[in-house]
Structure 1
Amino acid sequence: MSTLSTHVLDAMRGAPAQDVAVTLYRGAEQLDSAATDADGRIPALGGALPAGTYRLVFGTGAYFAGHEVDTFYPEVSVAFAVTEERHYHVPLLLSPFAFSTYRGS
């Protein structure tokens, strides 16, 4: 089985994004949810994951509203495939009008 973590960085502030709600789905089924810590991280989400397609939904609208900043993206959804037994890390670099992600380690 595989494991999953995530990390959110706020490029506008140049700091980790604390208290971003993150929800993990497999298809329409919600598997887990948590909020990022003071370092912008969630070290474990979803427990042991079998192979399949998953989706992380980041609550970016609520995060920016908490900082009184307008944003174009009320949420960011990142779909990814678990194909082999390993640890998966999905970082999100965030600003009010852009985001990027990649397969981390």
Structure 2
Amino acid sequence: MKTYNITNRLSAQAKSELNRIIETHDKYKGAYFWTSDCSADGRRRNEKKFADNHPDVAFLKGEDRIEVKMYYSESCRNVYYSLDVLVNGTKKNIAYIKKLLAK
């Protein structure tokens, strides 16, 4: 898990990572209505490709540890996506990430 340290100013790498998370979430939040791949091999390939391109990340901001995990899976009929934002073990939503970026 890649970890970024957030101080009063966001580094360019942390800012680009936060932007990537928001863009990915905006793209995949309606994934339930997508059509999954026809073959099991294709579905597993899509899941692996997503996991490789969207690794879990953590941000350290003072005493807070912010972990961001994205999940993507395909069944025979549906595509599922979810985002977990954990701040010291407490679940938050994408608004917390957007608030970090706005500062």
Specify the TM-score bucket, using the shorter chain as the normaliser: 0.3 to 0.5
Greater percentage in helix:
2
In our comparison, the structure showing a higher alpha carbon Rg is 2
So what's the TM-score if we normalise by structure 1? 0.33
* TM-score in terms of structure 2 length: 0.33
